[in-house]
Amino acid sequence: MGDYISSQSGPLRKPDGNAGFILDSTFTVEKIKIPSDGLLITGWLYLPLLTEKCPLVVLTNGGGDGSRGIKSFSDFMAPVLAHCGIAAFVHDKRGTGESEGDYVKTTYNDYITDAGNCAVFLSGHKRINPDLIGVMGASEGGRIAVIAASRYPEIKFAVSQAGTVVSKVEDRLYAQLNGMKDAGVLNDSTCILVRPLWEKSFRAWESNDPAEHEKVNTEILEWRKKYDRSVLPYTNYEMESIPDFRIVLPTWRSMPNDYLTELGHFKKKWLAIFGETDRVVPTEASVKNINHYMLLSGNKDYNIAVISRMGHVPVDTETKRMVNFHYLIINWLNENIIGNRRSL
């Protein structure tokens, strides 16, 4: 990237020597609406100023419904990719921003479908090389990226950063309880006490069985007679009726889907990046599962990078400085997907 400085959203810029900046002019941005499941997904195609056809990365969104925040990884990576000769597509998640749909009614399968349909649609673009299309995402988007690559033949590779690779129940337990402990709501002894009830609650969501929900609801109400409700799960009807919970409902409603089994058939190139100290995604268990399922599938074209002193976001937990994970991604793409184009 030379003297160019990465930005939260393009263009890149570099100092001009006079206390100002020169903006990057190595790519253009085109707004596109793509049909998916009868809806229109709005996105922005970052195209390098090259004459030949470009590789393409479809960028997926993080968890939640704040259209700007959940695109932070995408908005950061798109100009970096485009500067290095790789087209990038950033889109608003279904039901957020300028994309159509009802967010509360979505599940991960909808996001997977949208990412896949974006790849299929853009494979016909005159500037895109259809043989070099991949999907990339962070956090929730990391899991979406890998499963989309598994389901769509048009997608040739995947890159995930902090994308969980454990069961939905294990994923939710790890994130929920660590989040409550880090917020000071739970101490270690109380966590041990309430963990079984939280697990029963998540398993009821996983079962998608109203009878299982009713059993857990009864237990939750009994526990509230003895313990502060702030350390306990909410009933499913509270989750579905209290407005503050709309942000997590798509995640909870995605719990019946088994995404781990699909990985047993995954045979595409994959770079999986994790932070060693991630408190949202269980890194050690995810790495173990990747190795297990890639052994089952016979896939040897995968790489795992565990970055020390990095948590869920790419920030050094000691220095509080950004971790330059994008260097790793671009160099991996050059070595494994594209060949020698522009490197960082």
Tens digit of each residue's pLDDT (9 = 90 or more) over 304-316:
999 999 999 999 9
Q: Residues of the chain with pLDDT > 90: what percent?
A: 87
Q: Which two tokens stand for residue 10?
A: 């393009």
Widest CA span of the chain, in angstroms?
Answer: 69
More confident residue, 36 or 339: 36
Query: At which residue do the structure tokens 């990576």 appear?
Result: 77
Query: At which residue do the structure tokens 């908005």 appear?
Result: 75
User: Residue 26 — pLDDT band, cuts 50, 70, 90?
Assistant: confident
Closest CA to 232 of 199, 200, 194, 182: 194
Contact 172, 192 (CB under 8 A): no
Integer angstrom CA distances of residue 196 from 169, 190, 199 = 12, 11, 5
Measured CA angle at 262 (ends 55, 88), to 5 deg: 20
Closest CA to 201 of 232, 157, 165, 161: 232
Region 172-180: mean pLDDT is 97
Question: Bridge-partner residues for 133, per DSSP?
Answer: 56
Question: Bridge-partner residues for 307, per DSSP?
Answer: 275
Strand duo 21-23 + 13-15: pairing: antiparallel
Region 31-35: mean pLDDT is 97
Q: State the Cα torsion 314-136-52-30 to the nearest 10°.
A: -90
Region 52-77: mean pLDDT is 93
121-128, long-range: CB < 8 A, 24+ apart? 121/34, 121/35, 122/34, 122/45, 122/56, 122/58, 122/89, 123/56, 123/154, 125/45, 125/56, 126/53, 127/47, 127/53, 127/54, 127/87, 128/53, 128/54, 128/55, 128/56, 128/87
Q: pLDDT for 321-331, tens place per residue?
A: 999 999 999 99
> Is 205 a residue whose pLDDT tops 90?
yes
Region 16-39: mean pLDDT is 81
Q: Give the 3-state secondary structure percentages of the chain, helix then strand then coil, rounded to 5.
A: 40, 20, 40
Q: How far is CA 132 from the centre of its chain?
A: 20
Contact 161, 273 (CB under 8 A): yes
pLDDT value for 24? 61
Tell me the chain's radius of gyration from C-alpha atoms. 21
Closest CA to 58 of 150, 123, 139: 123
If DSSP codes are grouped into helix, strand and coil, which group holds residue 10?
coil
Q: pLDDT for 246-300, tens place per residue?
A: 999 999 999 999 999 999 999 999 999 999 999 999 999 999 999 999 999 999 9
Question: Bridge-partner residues for 33, per DSSP?
Answer: 42
Q: What is the DSSP string of 92-158?
A: PPTTSTTS-S-GGG--HHHHHHHHHHHHHHHTTSTTEEEEEEEEEEETHHHHHHHHHHHH-TT--EE
Contact 37, 47 (CB under 8 A): no
Region 233-257: mean pLDDT is 95
Q: H helices of the chain, where?
A: 72-83, 108-122, 140-151, 168-182, 188-207, 210-223, 236-241, 249-253, 260-263, 283-297, 325-333
Q: How far is CA 333 from the centre of its chain?
A: 18
pLDDT value for 342? 45
pLDDT value for 13? 61
pLDDT value for 66? 87
For residues 28-50, one letter each, b for 16 or more C-beta atoms within 10 angstroms of the residue's C-beta and e for the rest, the string is ebeebebebeebebbbbbbbbee
Closest CA to 129 of 64, 204, 48, 186: 48
Q: pLDDT for 74-121, tens place per residue?
A: 999 999 999 899 999 999 999 999 999 999 999 999 999 999 999 999
> Is 137 a residue whose pLDDT tops 60?
yes
Query: At which residue do the structure tokens 């853009």 appear?
Result: 122
